[in-house]
Chain A
């Protein structure tokens, strides 16, 4: 999604040259051009499908394509092998033009076993390319996947371009003299498949070669085995009389810049580190492992030298509690979690609201309620973020729209938390967390300043005096002579912070805190309208990871002359000050979100607009086709 359509066609450095044995043979077969290709890799959760997907993504990014990915894996680490429950998938859309989504349906399905085929076949286009590991279609595997007859031979796959390849056998042959066990040899299948697909789509393979060399440096026999498998797959594509041609997806018209490929969880972690550095304070993460947020903890644990403290707490509450304690001491305190953890943290977040300490809570949303579908995305925590605490406890809420946007949003969340002395909730979701896209790496010097000024002057110091403009209270950290004071969850007197049960004072403090949060709206930039700035028939309002599908749907409808626009929110509390006026410019407002209508409720309550909901609660992103259909019907209705 890093692509600007108006930008000139770029030259991509370091792409195209093939290394090693494969070098120079790529042109032996004809090459067909494709604008974009959607591939889905599917196999057992132990088959290394996520790894293949990520490497293929890196190759594609380095080839200069625009990319969008959708990993889709089970919560079980190793569900029984060969079963539908254990199928792990990775979908990648790579394109020579601007794309916004991982694609509705794959053009190419790679199925490493019958279960991978059974779970994904319904999504494959008729005449789509279907590549299977023929060796995996044994009677027992077929039975486990629920097949009563072998689809490879019963003509049920006749409407697809089926390629049956003996991936298991050919991989074993490639490594037969290395003394590996059958199991070790079997585990090289994913690199064989990656090699094959890399040939088929003319991917630059240097990055994968380097990756294998780095990853298996300490186990030379596995390095050799995976490298051989990778090259064998590549050469098979080239040599075997199976694929008539390979395909080429040229570089996209990409805005000039320095790029890297990034997932949402990585971007979130980097945004926090960058913010802490800009603030000149150590970063402290208190967190309890939870899917799909744990990668932020993993990533941050590698940045100790920055300095970054990562505390893997005994539970969700201790994670947020420790972050509040660190913030009390002057660190940038953050906690990361997913829905169930957000529930558990609610009381502690209320304490941060009351004591007015900076804190960022990241909720990588997943499908609920309760344990729900831990690896699947949803957007049903918005109202929990808004109202999921007892008492009047308003909190700024920011939501990231794309994987790379997680960087900006994490950074912005820290900036607001520190400036306004308040906890801030950052909402991402499982799709953003694991999805990847090219990212123009920002210039650190151009990031917004984050100013931290601790109180130091004992003269007239009181913990609850307020900055005239922001209404934020002083950050007075222990260790400062003369500022000794006590804070706590009990209602406290204005200015002094002393415990107070005065009715009028309580209302004053509640209103002061509410005004402080509402005042953040001053900083929200004017709402951007994609489409008709002066209003037209319908605007689709969204937030979070639905940005891509909505943008693509609106683009497609506009190309057909429909008067449809898009407004996408980053700031959910407070809402942009101009939003009501902007929405009123349109005859119809549709709120598209992966829940039962949570932003919809907020918009109706806030602006008295009879908005229409467009909702999905399947643990899956919107398909573009679903949105175009529903928007189309709303336009007619």
Chain B
């Protein structure tokens, strides 16, 4: 049944209401395109979101959907996934939703490793409320609420996710359709919390925030595509790489003093390396891909196992036995 589905089966009858030119369109299109390839029946897919531009997402997917309240989507999704492990549950959130008002739920859902796919659209701005700085906006950012520049030090979303020991951490970008599709599939195949930061352009309030990694003219010099087991090479002519100078990573030019053998080989299971890559800042390139992916017991799996074990040990719950527990007596 699922194999017969196509992209249009996942398009709902609702008019999409993001601003023309918004990066969200591209993400929506790629998710709708990828869904049929996952082989999941449409009725078993649920999209849960919080509040913000990105969180309108479920309305446009012809699956089950729940547009909840600001920051709380991971909590709702946890309750659903735990009690309904048969469902494929996706969380759609943004930098304000996940990292500001919902920061607590975000870190806890990752550390628990609930089997959810979490797509964080990071545009480094508040769009729905019309242009205030977000917890990922850079210091000095001039916005409506920071006319003299923001004095707030920003979160690095991936670093935060890794700090919570998320078992899967990846990054992609709205304009890289093929790459995004691959990341969605990787996330789906992962058992546990799979967190993808999707860099997304807000062309109204923060246009060009990711130009260095999205502009066709220059992106090759700034994108570092991560591939498990392969050396960290980038650049238009693939002539630059990352090597460790002692404990510090550095960009080196290939062909002269350094060769591929001197470079760091990407290992998705290496936590310190993932943490290092997540914290790359200019002049280092921006890594895209799977930073970290390890197998770890899922919260929903472990909880359902306990319920199963309890049933095996004690038998199915019996209401009469339950009520008759403890010190009892009969009055005739």
Contacts and interface: CB of A to CB of B under 8 A. Distances in A.
Interface of A: 10-15, 58, 61-62, 64, 207, 254-261, 270, 273-274, 277-278, 282, 284, 286, 303-309, 311, 313-315, 317-319, 321-331, 333, 347-348, 350-351, 355, 441-442, 444, 477-490, 498-499
B314 A274 contact: no
Given A479-B86, A481-B43, A499-B14, A273 B317 contact: yes
A259 B105 contact: no
Contacts of B323: 260, 270, 274, 441-442, 444
B327 A325 contact: no
Q: Which among B45, B65, B328 has the highest number of chain A CB atoms within 10 Å? A: B328
B69 A348 contact: yes
B79 interface: yes
Contacts of B45: 478
Given A207-B327, A490-B67, A303 B317 contact: yes
A198 to B, nearest CB: 15
B325 to A, nearest CB: 8
B66 A479 contact: no
A64 B331 contact: yes
A478 B43 contact: yes
Contacts of B306: 304
Contact of A12 (B51, B76, B82, B329): B329
15 contacts: A10-B331, A255-B331, A273-B319, A305-B314, A307-B317, A314-B108, A319-B75, A328-B80, A329-B83, A329-B87, A484-B62, A485-B64, A486-B61, A488-B66, A489-B51
A15 B87 CA distance: 54
A137 to B, nearest CB: 35
A314 B14 CA distance: 35
Given A261-B327, A305-B313, A321-B68, 15 more contacts: A62-B329, A64-B329, A259-B328, A270-B323, A278-B319, A284-B82, A284-B83, A305-B310, A305-B317, A309-B82, A318-B75, A321-B105, A478-B64, A479-B43, A479-B86
A459 B44 CA distance: 19
Interface in B82-127: 82-84, 86-87, 104-105, 108
B331 A12 contact: yes
A633 to B, nearest CB: 40
B264 interface: no
B79 A329 contact: yes
Contact of A305 (B79, B104, B311): B311
A146 to B, nearest CB: 39
Interface in B39-91: 41-46, 48, 51, 58-59, 61-70, 72, 74-84, 86-87
A480 B329 contact: no
Contacts of B148: none
Contacts of A277: 317, 319
Contacts, number: 221
B307 A325 contact: no
Given A61-B327, A304-B310, A485 B65 contact: yes
Nearest to A58: B327
B217 interface: no
Nearest to A442: B323
B330 A259 contact: yes
A329 B48 CA distance: 12
Given A14-B329, A277-B319, A483-B43, A311 B78 contact: yes
B307 A486 contact: no
B331 A323 contact: no
Given A307-B311, A321-B68, A314 B44 contact: no
B261 interface: no
A329 B329 contact: no
Contact of A325 (B14, B75, B332): B75
A479 B44 contact: yes
Contacts of A487: 65-67
Contacts of A207: 327
Interface in B288-332: 303, 306-307, 310-311, 313-317, 319-320, 322-332
Nearest to B10: A484
A249 B322 CA distance: 31
A529 B83 CA distance: 44
Contact of B307 (A14, A307, A498): A307
B84 A257 contact: no
B330 to A, nearest CB: 5
A256 B328 contact: no
Given A329-B79, A481-B43, A486 B68 contact: no
A10 B77 CA distance: 53
B43 A260 contact: no
A259 B104 CA distance: 45
B324 A325 contact: no
A273 B321 CA distance: 12
B62 A256 contact: no
Contact of B67 (A13, A303, A489): A489
Contacts of B310: 304-305, 307
Nearest to B55: A488
A223 B81 CA distance: 44
A393 to B, nearest CB: 13
Contact of A499 (B59, B78, B330): B59
Nearest to A9: B331
Contact of A478 (B69, B79, B87): B87
Nearest to A207: B327
B156 interface: no
A68 B270 CA distance: 61
B8 to A, nearest CB: 14
Contacts of A490: 67
Contacts of B317: 273, 277, 303, 305-308
Nearest to B101: A317
A347 B69 CA distance: 8
B146 interface: no
Contacts of B77: 325
B67 A61 contact: no
Contact of B78 (A13, A325, A327): A325
Contacts of A477: 84
A564 to B, nearest CB: 31
B202 to A, nearest CB: 21
B42 to A, nearest CB: 6
Contacts of A323: 79
Closest 3 CB pairs of A and B: A488-B67, A306-B317, A325-B79
A498 B14 contact: yes
B12 interface: yes
Contacts of A261: 326-327
Given A207-B327, A478-B43, A314 B58 contact: no
Contacts of A15: 329
A155 B19 CA distance: 85
B75 to A, nearest CB: 3
A7 to B, nearest CB: 8
A355 B58 CA distance: 15
A311 B330 CA distance: 36
A62 B329 CA distance: 6
A486 B311 CA distance: 34
